[in-house]
Structure 1
């Protein structure tokens, strides 16, 4: 489901209505969080832009019971499960989210604005926007992303086993990347691309049979049928490869969320940036949780779903406390009024 194609999407709540929770992001983390809230009889709305990180992948792997399942199939099932318990899934893109005035008891409130002009009001927010993978600027590389260009040995490694693999280095993280992919093939070439490689690492690569190419890379070339043919070097030499592994720069999706003032953290070595979270995805902003790749850049589908479930449970517990505080305040006010009338 995409933001442009709202087939099977639910309608938004009535204008002015405040729901218990809005979930920004309809991937594994967002849907699992919504599922936990809906099963707790919370009114929850998921905003799904329809642009999951793993959309280019043919199947998910490493998730017991669901290994080999196409990502779109998992998400379609998840949406229906959320709806089964009364949750809503709305196709849309969030362009603004910000705190609103809390209740007299201090219960948080938020306003979420969509690109189509719709507005949602919520007591709690779960940010599950995921991340963007930023590829190095190598001509011809991006067209193969999710197919011949892979980033995760656990997500795609088995599928590219025994192929001639090349690692396009982006920094220190690529050294570890190379050792992991060496487990999958005997034919591995490491293109340093100007990154540092000390003598100890070179010796370790040589011991493992990893060929090192220090000459600059000019482009990735394709076969006639659109697969990867290999890597063209700036000196004109060509290194045949069928698969390229790249440690992408991972950036949490923050579009439309600046109004929440959520703290961000950088990973070392320029590897990426994510939302800073505490226990179960809690944040420094009361009433806002973050789950999935937006908080944990290395999380696969299973870990993201688990994080969403935990965040959803914590949100429900927080709402239960707020409901009790409000009920007590109302009861106390009523008792005071009754006493004064006697």
Structure 2
């Protein structure tokens, strides 16, 4: 990624004195310093940093968080076990406490400059954009998987591992993560089985055997479910293997189709796990004025890391706006 400095950014010159604050009928202004697209941990923490810096900020959120199926957020300092909806509600209240605005909606387009268009036809201007729309888990076609997703069909040992500890766990090698997941969940249970259509290499087989991980060849066709829980998996040849929980690697796809008019498209992640928007460590993209944070750029980021990335991006955006306003002030003073 190219390195871009604040002084070189060819932004539309929008000074503070001409910033319009005329509200839409729903209370939204016509333009904001920053529009944050996505109201998860990254977006809300970025908006919090900006609102506390006295920036006008709007958070547009579709209300479709990735972790909605989960009962609780885990591994987050001082908030472990908090239901996702409760955590987001607290975050929204904090943003509003400092004057930030929030609206429910889906962004369907962004034009250079920036004008943000929502699915219901509303439009709002922005001097900068922070995109934190997260990603979609594209699940493999396995009967019953979506029904149990986020409960006893999981993907992350740190998000859900403790909750399925000591159970009979099946690792469905539907992605390059299969072997890695088998090793990670073996830390949490003595009863781990890897289901794979491709036999492991000699080295991999030795590692799996040494760790006591059983390998079952074949593809899983369906989950066996009874009494609102997984009881096993059924292979395509009809074989049923009893289990208590399954681990599945998904294809991770950033939700960024609306950015294409700006020349920003999701590209394959170097790890082969899906698609993301590349960015500098502070979230700045190759398109001047557009920052990203959270899973839209870091596919493996958990809630805490996403929130931290959003805070950093928010701070950098504020600094970038200050640099622009300083240049404008100097020009005005010397003209």
TM-score after normalising by structure 2: 0.90
Structure 1 segment 16-35 matched on structure 2, within 5 A? 17-35=30-48
Q: Which residue of 2 aligns with 1:339?
A: none
1-side partners of 2:69 and 2:220: how far apart? 25
Secondary structure of the 1:26 match is coil
Q: Which residue of 2 aligns with 1:297?
A: 299
Secondary structure of the 1:244 match is strand
Deviation at 1:196, TM superposition (A): 4.5
Show CA shifts across 1:111-134 (max 9, x none).
000111110100000000000111
1:264 alignment partner, one of 256, 266, 272: 266
1:212 alignment partner, one of 211, 215, 219: 215
2:61 paired with 1:55: no
In the alignment of these two chains, the number of paired residues is 311
Q: Which residue of 2 aligns with 1:198?
A: 201
Secondary structure of the 2:258 match is coil
Larger Rg: 1
2:115 paired with 1:111: yes
TM-score after normalising by structure 1: 0.88
Distance 1:279 1:200, change over 3 A: closer
1:42 alignment partner, one of 55, 58, 62: 55
Q: Which residue of 1 aligns with 2:329?
A: 327
Structure 1 segment 143-154 matched on structure 2, within 5 A? 143-154=147-158
Deviation at 1:12, TM superposition (A): 4.4
Deviation at 1:264, TM superposition (A): 3.2
- Any gaps of 5 or more consecutive residues in structure 1? 1-9, 101-109, 334-342
1-side partners of 2:271 and 2:200: how far apart? 14
Structure 1 segment 1-342 matched on structure 2, within 5 A? 11-14=26-29, 17-100=30-113, 110-192=114-196, 194-223=197-226, 225-268=227-270, 270-333=272-335
- Any gaps of 5 or more consecutive residues in structure 2? 1-24
Q: Which residue of 2 aligns with 1:106?
A: none
Distance 1:195 1:267, change over 3 A: farther
**Kept in 2: contact 1:170–1:195 (CA 8 A):** no
Deviation at 1:262, TM superposition (A): 1.6
Secondary structure of the 1:42 match is coil
2-side partners of 1:68 and 1:217: how far apart? 31
Q: Which runs of 4+ in 1 moved over 6 A?
A: none
2-side partners of 1:297 and 1:141: how far apart? 21
Q: Which residue of 1 aligns with 2:20?
A: none
Distance 1:283 1:12, change over 3 A: farther
Secondary structure of the 1:280 match is coil
Distance 1:268 1:330, change over 3 A: closer
Deviation at 1:217, TM superposition (A): 2.2
Secondary structure of the 2:215 match is strand
**Kept in 1: contact 2:43–2:310 (CA 8 A):** yes
Deviation at 1:226, TM superposition (A): 2.3
Deviation at 1:270, TM superposition (A): 3.6
